[in-house]
Structure 1
Amino acid sequence: MRNKKKFDLNRYNSFILIMIIIFSGIIIRLSYLQVVKGEEFKEKANNRSIREIPDSAPRGNITDVNGKILATNKQGYMLVYNETEENKEVFFQTMSKVFEILEENKEKQQDDFELKINPYRFEFKAQNDEARKLLEIRFKRDRGFNEEIEKKLFKNKKEKLTEEQKKQVDEQLLKITPKETFKKLLKDYDINQSNYSLEEQRKFMIIKDSIKMQSFSGYKPVVIASNINKKTAFIFLQKLNELPGIDITTEPVREYPKGELGSAFLGYISKISWDQEKFEEKGYDVNSDYVGTSGIEGVFEDRLRGSKGGRIVKLNKNGRIIEELGRREPYPGQNIQLTINSDVQAAAEKSLDAVMTELRNSPGRGDVNTSNATRGAAIAIDVNTGGIIAMASKPTFDPNLFAIPGKLSPDLYKKYFNPDLGEFGKQYILSKGLMGSYPGKSLDDVLNIMFPVDKSIKNNTTIREDVYDIYPKPFYNYATMSIIPPGSTFKPMTTIAALESGAITTDFGIYDPGFFDDGKGFKKSFAVGGYGSVGIGKALEVSSNPFFMTLGKVMRDKYGDDILAKYAWKFGLGVKPNSGAVASTGIELPERYGQVFNTWTLQNIFSTQYLWQTMSTLKAGADQRGNSFPSINLYDNENDSEKVKKIKKQIKSEIQECIKNGDKKFSKENYEKLLKSLINSDNLYKDKNITDKDISRIINAIYYVTVSDAYSQLNVGANMYNASIGQGISNFTPLQLVNYVSILVNGGNRYKLHLVDKILDADGNLIKQEKPEILDKINLKPETVEAVKNGMYLVDHGSRGTAASYFSGFPISTGGKTGSATFSNDQAALGRTSYAVYIGFAPYDNPKIAVCVVVFDGGHGGFVAPVARAMYESYFKDELSKMGYSSQYTSNTQEETKKKEESSTQQTSGEEVNTQQVND
């Protein structure tokens, strides 16, 4: 009994001990949780989270040579949304209130979402269909549309898809219509279609999509509206408690205070839609960051962008910042000071607009119709440094439209990135009255001639090509990218070559009877002329075509066809083929580079043009002499075997060699062998029974086109004569033309052209100073320079100068040359007319500035001289002010242009009246 009591007591004591231990553990744990870990769990209870929020760095400023701001940043208020698990539940209620406040205050939601409605469509910032397709594929892949397609096409495939399989997926992605894309995203983002209008659905979708896209690079605030005004920002701040997840922050917003001014060289910024992997490697967030897309903004992106900052913050359950734990300050980008003088730039742009407007409003100008004068360029450079003083290109655009998402209207998007050339073409044809040039053809027939459907795009029936360069392109820099014939503005270059080569001396002269006859069967008459005795000065003044063709003949007889090119290359008018010389003016922007007439280039042009003519003749089965033969098709066919492709390539190569070298490369035996091989290998000729006699007739047709026609045309003097007056195959950019004037008047220094003067850090400290760089030094004879300059002086100030009426009363002596060059022999049927070109320099005695002005379909060079004068007035405004001269020409451009053109059309000059292929 005693043992039992003792056992019960021990068991009771053990129980008590265990209970004490358990409760002690609970108390200790509770103490630990409340005291030691209390704050941590309190934060968790309140659903606090820690995130890094990036802070954008202000882009560097872009200024003109005098420090005037062309591109800068302003502080903008930004409405953002931080998503948390709690505020997800009230997303739609919150956003509905947000949209209501924005609408009440006339603010717009940030909208760079490429999927649009009414009608459903994609709007990608791409200027060709191929680029748009790539962006559409990327859009759908980023949102996972490819996953379902891959499962259907390749059910059990575990390894990576091959490139061919990826192409199959891409083809299926492109078949998903914009409407289907929209509906799928509504489902993916749980947006109820029955509760909201279509517009509201898309508003929600923009934010939901941003959340998804930005989740790939870490959770960051989603921007709902950018650059809202201060009043709206404070309204939101007052209502933050009602709007879970919503917050107001500030950001630097890119601003171009002068609007469109200089946009051709400034460029613009935009969301990253190309080379996204490359930008990601550099630390960009491709879903939200903006980069320089063109111009200085694009070329100097690495200097302008700056370094991002960031804040480590605590968010409460409503997604609002309650504490900042750490900060990395953003650092602004470097500043770029240009050589541009914004006053001269403004004068160039204003006067160019005014002149083109007047040309369009008064299109009937004798031998030309200027109703389509919608594109042009004007450039001024410092002849002693190569610095660009002004660079205007028209039409242009306002880069502010791209700095803030959603600012670009649908109409502007269509105009800039996806013009309907079918609609434009029909209006153009009817407004220009062009149907009469195509008797028996319908409007659609003419449209297909002038704006043909782009056959390079499979299954395309709507996308057309602007093959005749009619549609005005706002993003196309006509100053650096348009290659045009120089017309009579090349005549000073012809004079330089003739004098420097020793073909003539400064006292050389001819009698101008109004026509040119080389004495070897080439004779050309001009609508005006007959100037009688002319020397270098008078020939340039009146633009005597016979005089400069004579110079071409004299040089050709002494030195051959390439003597003109030898000197033009020194002036940057092309480069010697196969020489390894860099084809560039040195400009920092992308540029095209034209070429002067030379035998090597002419051979290659002819070998291409006459190859197509030969192929067309062979396919037609008849030549221009009326001889017939079995049809032979050398055009590429996707059904051709590799053997047939190879034979066709060999025949075409043989044809091109015959075009270049004539009888030396023509082998009847080779053609017989190749043609028989083609006939035996290509099923197209099965059962055609083509005989040896037929093959002989085919070879005769080839000989007629390649040797009798093409090769003989390569070696006629007309090529040199036309080149001597700025026609033929010579084509240059306005930048090349102004550069050659600069080299002439500064005595022979070919400077590297440049837009950038200085690069500075954010505090204004000099990082880099661009210094004038001489690329080549031409030892021009002083008498050559003086003779040509004197002739150009007479152009602007002589009694019969082709630009004299436009410089009447201008107190600074200038020199210039007008030019008009035909676009094509059938330009009238296309609604086009000659390019109007003017080149010049000032002052005469001590040149400081050279200019070039071009207006497409502007008619005659004199018509655009007012733009040059406006640039002079702005550049020399201080000197002119001291002379008591009031620079009012720019403001009166339209009125004065009309008066001066009326005066000019009464003059008799080769440049102003000649209506043949050469308008000078």
Structure 2
Amino acid sequence: MNSRLLLLLLLVYTVLGLYGLRLWQLQVVEYERYSTQSRGNYVRTEPITAPRGRIFDRNGKLIADNRMAVDLVYQGGEVEFKERILALLGLSELPKPERGQEVIVKANLPEGLIPTLAELTAGQKNLRLVERLERNYPRPISGSVLGYVQLANALQVKQGYDPDELVGVSGLEGGLENTLRGTRGARLVEVNARGERIRSQVIRPPLPGKDVYLTLDYDLQKAAEKALADSLEDLHKGRKRYGLPLDQKPKGAIIAVDPRTGEVLAMATAPTFDPNLFARRPTPREEIQRLIQDPDKPLFNRAVLPYAPGSTFKLVTSSMLLEKGYATPGTIYTCTAAFTVGRFTMRNWAHRNMGPMTVKGAIANSCNTWYFQAVWNAPPGSAPLVDDIAARAKEMGIGRPTGLEIPERSGFLPTRAWKRATFDEPWYPGETLSVAIGQGPVLATPAEIARMLSTIAMSGRQPELHLVKRIGDTPISPRISQVPGTHWAELQEGLRQTVTEGTASFQLKDFPVPTAGKTGTAEIPGKRMGLSHAWYMGYGPVDPNDPRPPLLVVAFFENGGEGSGVALPAAKKVMSAFWKVNTGSPAQPSPAPIPQPTPPSAARP
């Protein structure tokens, strides 16, 4: 008995010794390893999304902001008060999450439901309310100008974004991403073995993005957007005149600028969309897909896309002819109905002889044949002259970035070298005649046309366009350069005559504020008459001593017809809103005969 008892005691002490040895190993020898592992299991670091910077107009009106949204998320498993929660949400069943994942039961919970749901979900480890920041646009402007945000994609997450972080995709939101994006914070979260949160502590607060104050005037912006929307009646007049199907919506852009500084006071584009559509969660995918597939391209900002400039480009040709000495302010050509070179005849927009005129008259009456003669009679001959036109256009602001803080495409200026490299063909003299009146392969954006006209209005002082007035408390200084030239007055007087006696006089001759401007109609190869691009560019007051603030407006309509028929009235509405003048019903011109079809090179005013 004694030996068996001793053996049993030995066995017991051995087991206890082994347990004690293991306990000593865990508590002393491997303490650091298991302590670190324990903290890793139950204390984790979570990112805190930083608010994006807010966007204001020049007068402090809030355009883009952030708001706190609350979602109900579910991890799976049994839920208390399930039937009551489903009834509150109007659901029949909870969604099934993938293993180990959370699923959003309801995004953007109404504020009235949040207190009740907070009470019902309290203490439930698999059903909880989650707060997040959502972009909000209380005063949305043209969607493609303002842009929109989306959750970071896989590539952006690899680049340092959080999966729940909003990223600017286009327009101002995209162009100012580095300014608007804040710096994320961090918090320590302690959970128990069942995954329930016990406590949390912010260890690094998030830093909001910088607030941005735009140069845009919200009231003028809305006036420009309304002018685009209201242009449908004028568009339909042109369509009916040529027996064309009616448009359902206008396609175009209006940009209004302070020509002294390059500040963009309004930039509207049509058709457009509400950027709040992209900020919502859950994302309305069907609506967004319809936007993407819309043949009218509402996601495009037409103010920064290149188009054939038509007769607005004649100011470039006029400047080149005068500055190079190929024509003088007194050079006179007869504005004939047509101009013939060899076997080719190029026509003016008017089917009659308009009489002799100088460059000022050619601008005012938009005479194609005056430019054909001036270019053809230039000493170097018309073929090399295209390089002079391209060089002067670039100096005046076409074919290069305008300085805007949003993505933009530049216009295109053909040259002899370009044609040789692209088509392995020489440049033909007749092609220069088309380019001289803004036809052929030459392209310009409405923003570029605005900068070009600013250069003329300011006698060669060329401002870079910009949409940002200040970032936080730091103002953005205008960027001004000087374009060489001595004949700005002739261009200004020609633009003024356009309004007093030329192609814009029927709308603006008696306008309360003296202005200057130019109509433009660009015929498009392959398009029927009446589907031209319609332009108008104008500025005022023309007297530098006038106490009223200056304004420059460019209105463009894609396939809008004649510039004087649709773009001019739209620009006039923006001018009226800016200077707060009541023009009443404009005097209407006598009905013009329907013109006969003309070649694409015969641009209309």
Partner of 2:88 in structure 1?
Answer: 101
Superposed displacement of residue 732, structure 1: 1.1
- Deviation of the 1:538 alpha carbon: 2.8
In 1, Cα distance between the equivalents of 2:165 and 2:108?
A: 15
Confirm or deny: 8 A CA contact 1:368 1:833 kept in the other structure: no
Change (3 A) 1:78 1:270: same
Letter in 2 for 1:271: L
1:779 is the counterpart of 2:484: yes
Equivalent position of 1:473 in the other structure: 297
Following superposition, the deviation at residue 506 of structure 1 comes to: 1.4
TM-superposed CA distance for 1:856, in Å, is 1.1
Structure 2 match to 1:396 = 272
- Percent of aligned positions that are identical: 27
Moved more, 530-539 or 363-372: 363-372
- Aligned pair partner of 2:146 in 256, 259, 266: 266
> What is the aligned partner in structure 2 of residue 416 from structure 1?
291
Q: Distance in 2 between matches of 1:502 and 1:236?
A: 80
Q: Is the 8 A contact 2:228 2:250 kept in 1?
A: no
Equivalent residue in structure 1 for 2:162, among 265, 268, 285: 285
Partner SS for 1:67: coil
* SS of the residue 1:239 aligns to: helix
Structure-to-structure mapping, 1:166-565, within 5 angstroms: 203-204=95-96, 207-208=97-98, 212=101, 223-241=104-122, 244-259=125-140, 261-273=141-153, 276-277=154-155, 279-286=156-163, 288-315=164-191, 320-355=196-231, 357-367=232-242, 369=244, 371-372=246-247, 374-408=250-284, 410=286, 412-418=287-293, 471-481=295-305, 483-517=306-340, 520=342, 522-526=344-348, 527-555=350-378, 557=380, 560-561=384-385, 562-565=387-390
Shift of 1:267: 0.8
**C-alpha displacement at 1:915, in angstroms?**
4.2
**1:727–1:358 Cα change, 3 Å:** same
Q: Call closer, same or farther: CA 1:838–1:94 in 2, change over 3 Å.
A: farther
Which residue in 1 is equivalent to 2:451?
Answer: 739
Name 2:467's counterpart in structure 1. 755
Residue deviations 1:798-829 (CA, integer Å, cap 9, x gap) = 2xx322232254211111111111112x313x
**Unaligned ranges ≥5, structure 2:** 27-40
- Measure how far apart 1:848 and its partner are: 3.1
> Structure 2: how far apart are the matches of 1:280 and 1:308?
13
Give unmatched runs, 5+ long, in structure 1. Answer: 1-6, 34-47, 105-195, 213-220, 420-470, 575-582, 608-655, 661-713, 761-765, 878-884, 890-895
Change (3 A) 1:747 1:396: same
- Of residues 591, 594, 603, the one that matches 2:420 is 603
The 1:346–1:76 alpha-carbon spacing in structure 2 relative to 1, beyond 3 Å, is same
What displacement does 1:757 show?
2.3
What is the aligned partner in structure 1 of residue 500 from structure 2?
Answer: 797
Distance (whole Å) between structure 2 residues aligned to residue 585 and residue 375 of structure 1: 22
Question: Match of 1:393, SS?
Answer: strand
Instruction: Quickly say closer, same or farther: Cα 1:540–1:25, change in 2 above 3 A.
Output: closer
Q: 1:444 maps to which residue?
A: none
> Residue 586 and residue 23 in structure 1: after superposition, are their counterparts in 2 closer, same or farther (change >3 A)?
closer
Residue deviations 1:577-601 (CA, integer Å, cap 9, x gap): xxxxxx3222222222122343223
What is aligned with 2:579? 876
Partner-residue secondary structure (3-state), 1:818: strand
Hey, what's the Cα distance between the residues in 2 that align with 1:333 and 1:267?
17
Paired amino acid for 1:389:
L
Equivalents in 2 of 1:914, 1:843: separation in Å? 37
Contact 2:257 2:265 (8 Å CA) reproduced:
yes
Alignment of 1:585-596 (within 5 A): 585-596=402-413
Q: Deviations over 1:347-375 (max 9, x none)?
A: 111111111x2145445453474723631
Q: How does 1:641-660 map to 2 (within 5 A)?
A: 656=424, 659-660=425-426
- Conserved? CA contact 2:151–2:166, under 8 Å: yes
Question: What is the CA distance between 1:271 and its match in structure 2?
Answer: 2.2
SS of the residue 2:187 aligns to: strand
8 Å CA contact retained: 2:55, 2:65: yes
Q: Secondary structure at the match of 1:827?
A: coil
Deviations along 1:652-704, whole A, 9 cap, x unmatched?
Answer: xxxx4xx34xxxxxxxxxxxxxxxxxxxxxxxxxxxxxxxxxxxxxxxxxxxx
Question: Of 72, 78, 86, which aligns to 1:90?
Answer: 78
Cα displacement (A) at 1:557: 4.7
Which of 588, 591, 595 is the aligned partner of 1:906?
591
1:377, distance to aligned residue in structure 2 (A): 0.9
User: Closer, same or farther in 2 for the Cα pair 1:254/1:905, shift >3 Å?
Assistant: farther
Change (3 A) 1:848 1:241: closer
Q: Cα deviation per residue 1:614-655 (whole Å; 9 max; x = unaligned)?
A: xxxxxxxxxxxxxxxxxxxxxxxxxxxxxxxxxxxxxxxxxx
- Is the Cα–Cα contact under 8 Å of residues 216 and 264 in structure 2 kept in the other structure? yes
Deviations 1:456-489 (CA, angstroms, capped at 9, x unpaired): xxxxxxxxxxxxxxx21011111112x2111111
- Describe how 1:667-682 pairs up with structure 2 within 5 A: none
Q: Structure 1 residue 719 and structure 2 residue 600: aligned?
A: no
* Counterparts of 2:421 and 2:326, CA distance in 1: 28
Distance 1:257 1:905 in 2: 45
SS at match of 1:283: coil
- 1:49 Cα deviation (Å)? 4.4
CA contact (8 A) 1:748 1:780 kept: yes
Q: Structure 1 residue 252: deviation in Å?
A: 2.3
For 2:221 and 2:309, the matched residues in 1 are separated by 23
- Number of equivalences: 577
Aligned CA-pair RMSD? 3.5
Are the counterparts in 1 of residues 530 and 560 from structure 2 also a CA contact under 8 Å? no
Q: Which residue of 2 aligns with 1:173?
A: none
SS at match of 2:281: coil
Which of residues 519, 522, 527 in structure 2 aligns to 1:827? 527
More strand by share: 2
**2:30 matched to which residue of 1?**
none
Q: Secondary structure at the match of 2:377?
A: helix
Distance in 2 of aligned mates of 1:793 and 1:368? 34
Structure showing the higher helix proportion among its residues:
1
Task: Kindly state the Cα deviation for residue 320 of structure 1 after the two structures are TM-superposed.
Answer: 4.7
Q: Which structure is larger by alpha-carbon Rg, 1 or 2?
A: 1
Code of the aligned partner of 2:448: Q
The aligned residue for residue 651 of structure 1 is: none
Distance in 2 of aligned mates of 1:769 and 1:565 = 35
Return the alpha-carbon distance in structure 1 between the equivalents of residues 512 and 435 of structure 2. Answer: 35
Determine if contact 1:338/1:758 at 8 Å carries over to the other structure.
Answer: yes
Aligned AA (1:498) = L
Residues 370, 915 of structure 1: CA spacing in aligned structure 2 closer, same or farther, 3 A cutoff? Answer: farther
**Secondary structure of residue in 1 paired with 2:568:** helix
Q: TM-score, normalised by structure 1?
A: 0.57
Distance, in Å, in 2 between the alignment partners of 1:222 and 1:316 is 21
2:566 counterpart of 1:860: no
Partner of 1:770: 476
Kept in 2, the 8 Å contact 1:370–1:833? The answer is: no
The answer on whether the counterparts of 2:439 and 2:603 sit within 8 Å (CA) in structure 1 is no
- How far the C-alpha of 1:19 sits from its partner, in A, is 7.9
Residue matched to 2:507: 806
- Alpha-carbon deviation of 1:318? 6.9
Q: How many Å separate the matches in 2 of 1:98 and 1:602?
A: 70
Amino acid at match of 1:570: E
Specify whether residues 415 and 904 from structure 1 end up closer, same or farther in structure 2 by C-alpha distance, changes over 3 A only.
Answer: farther
